[in-house]
Amino acid sequence: MKRLLLIIPLILAVLTAKADNVKVRLFSANNIKSINISVDLGHYNLYADNDQLIEDMIGVGRSVILRPEGKKVHVSVNETDYGAYNSVRLESADTACILCLNPANCKQRTYEGNLEVSTLNKGNLLILNDVDFETYIAGVVQSEIYGNQTDIFRIQAIISRTWALRNKDKHSKEGYNFCDHVHCQAYLNRCIRPDIMLGAIESTGETLVDSTGALIETPFHSNSGGETANSEDVWRAALPYLRAVTDTFSYRMRQSDWTKIISRDRWLNYFSKTHKIDITDSTNLDTLLSFSQEHRKVNLLGVPLTRIRTDFQLKSTFFSVTVDSATNDIVLLGHGYGHGVGLSQEGAIRMVSLGISYDSILSHYYTGAILHHDPYTNPGYVADYVEKITQIIKEDKNSKTQVHSKQNDWLGRLFRLRDREEREEIYIEEEQDNEKDWEYDW
């Protein structure tokens, strides 16, 4: 829909003065030898070597196929072969645009924004999503947390936004801002759920800062097991806002408890051979066979629990040790999932379900941190998006039998709603009568 170019900028792009595009490396944990890219919504222009237009207005039904050819990227669109170039860029030509990425060896994903493709060493493709910052944050929220209440997504958006703004140059030497893996934050798809986008939009301009106004580190994990950890107990730095706190909200959740069985010989030999602990000493032996943690500890006989967690691939460092009297195996009875520092996602989910406010939840996990509201955020613009997406969510709830398709994706519907408003404000009868974009059975 070309007319959308004149309506509004990309979603959320002007909500704050700090909003900007970021470049995110996609499929960063995989070797991509070829990829088929199709358009799910809108139109894209295809450029090579920055400004050479190869083909314009590529829409639904067209496929761009890219593969390495030496140090260049070979390009074809459907049956047309365009040769090889140093780099390729797919640039959105409409306001609402979605690309479907289908690599040869990975599950397909969809993304908004633009796409830049070049080659890496060993004949792999480097794929970058050049995307609006807030659109990226919404995709991170969808990838990082589960739930069905808006404040859950608002909380995750705040801590993900804070981390991203603090670490925006993490991969600058490699030519992009973030990767899509846990090395940065998971970004495994565009945000396809309007309820998640609603939470992200409601959090626009919100970050966590310390008493000096500096952005804080905002680590999070799946489940604390009942008590979070001090930052220095897991990493080196002792940060005043990352203090251990009692977290009963994490009890009785998906990742609250776990069990791991290890043979007695393997357990004892690990400490004896790897860490040179004398297991013939009765005190040492008793400790290794009956270790317990009512509250989180840092070491077991001087061995960092973080090292033990890594070597035995444990879900957390918060565990106790018993011996199975029948098999003589070592039984680790563990609590929680993750490093334990900062916010427990499942604890936050429980707190939201109990009606605790999102800012109180953040204060619980980040001691003394301050919720900062960007003064440049446009509240009217945010409220408008909130209203429209709330309307879409309501329509979905009232049409549970509706078959979702590319044509009724929430993003396209959002911009159709805004376009309709714009055109009703300046009513042009001929354009209204000829317009067919609204003829969808929602």
pLDDT per residue as tens digits for the range 131-183: 999 999 999 999 999 999 999 999 999 999 999 999 999 999 999 999 999 88
295, 227 contact by CB (below 8 A): yes
SS3 220: strand
What are the pLDDT digits (tens) for 307-355?
A: 999 999 999 999 999 999 999 999 999 999 999 999 999 999 999 999 9
SS3 135: helix
Asked whether residue 404 carries a pLDDT value surpassing 90, the answer given is: no
Domain chopping of the chain, boundaries: 2-145+166-191, 206-250+340-373, 257-335
The closest of 105, 93, 194 to 142, measured between CA atoms, is 194
Taking the alpha carbons of 11, 16, 17, 19 in that order, is the dihedral positive or negative? negative
Asked whether residue 431 carries a pLDDT value surpassing 80, the answer given is: no
From residue 13, alpha-carbon distances to 185, 205, 350, 381 in Å are: 20, 12, 32, 11
**What per-residue confidence (pLDDT) applies to 7?**
33
Average pLDDT in the 40-58 region?
Answer: 94
Q: Which helix (H) or strand (E) holds 3?
A: none
226, 251 contact by CB (below 8 A): yes
What are the pLDDT digits (tens) for 270-304?
A: 999 999 999 999 999 999 999 999 999 999 999 99
β-partners of residue 53 are 47
What are the pLDDT digits (tens) for 418-430?
A: 665 555 544 444 5
From residue 329, alpha-carbon distances to 25, 260, 314 in Å are: 44, 10, 16
Tokens of 1: 């829909």
The two beta strands, 80-85 and 72-77, are antiparallel
- To the question of pTM greater than 0.85 for the whole model, the response is yes
Q: Which helix (H) or strand (E) holds 351?
A: helix 345-353
β-partners of residue 101 are 37, 109
Q: 10 Å Cβ neighbour count for 381?
A: 16
27, 176 contact by CB (below 8 A): no
From residue 227, alpha-carbon distances to 251, 259, 408 in Å are: 10, 18, 44
Average pLDDT in the 83-93 region?
Answer: 96
Query: Rounded to an integer, what is the distance from CA 430 to the centroid of its chain?
Result: 44
342, 228 contact by CB (below 8 A): yes
Tokens of 243: 């203090």
C-alpha gyration radius of the chain: 26
CA triplet 157, 160, 163: central angle to 5 degrees?
145
84, 130 contact by CB (below 8 A): no
Average pLDDT in the 71-90 region?
Answer: 96
